[in-house]
């Protein structure tokens, strides 16, 4: 039969091996969670960048729309003026 010291040593070694195994498992789990957290953070940052880009695009499109309206109005006014001028010239020639 093994002595008390040998049994104690055997139990201590077994406990140490079990603790090491669980420590490795915990480290793997922590790495997995960290990787997932980093992925989510990157996804959130990406979404924020996309939203900001869409906001900027919206502003540009609004400005372009306003410019198109102004250009249309200006073209209409220019056309009306040209029409009036041509009528004046026709009257002047008579």
Residue 11 has pLDDT above 70, yes or no: yes
What value does the CA radius of gyration of the chain take, rounded to a whole number of Å?
Answer: 40
Handedness of CA 71, 73, 76, 78 (dihedral sign): negative
pLDDT at 83: 76
Q: Which residues contact 10 (CB under 8 A, 6 or more apart)?
A: 2
| Residue 4: predicted pLDDT | 78
pLDDT at 55: 92
Helix (H) or strand (E) holding 1: none
Q: What is the pTM of this model?
A: 0.46
Cβ pair 10, 2 in contact under 8 A: yes
> What tens digit of pLDDT does each residue of 18-51 get?
998 989 998 999 888 889 888 888 999 988 998 9
Residue carrying structure tokens 């195994």: 21
């Amino acid at each position: 039969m093994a002595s008390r010291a040998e049994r104690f040593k055997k139990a201590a070694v077994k406990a140490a091996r079990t603790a090491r195994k669980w420590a490795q498992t915990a480290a793997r789990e922590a790495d997995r969670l960290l990787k997932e957290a980093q992925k989510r953070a990157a996804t959130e940052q990406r979404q924020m960048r996309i939203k900001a880009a869409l906001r900027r695009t919206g502003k540009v499109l609004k400005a372009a729309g306003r410019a198109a309206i102004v250009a249309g109005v200006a073209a209409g006014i220019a056309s009306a003026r040209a029409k009036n001028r041509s009528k004046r010239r026709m009257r002047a020639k008579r």
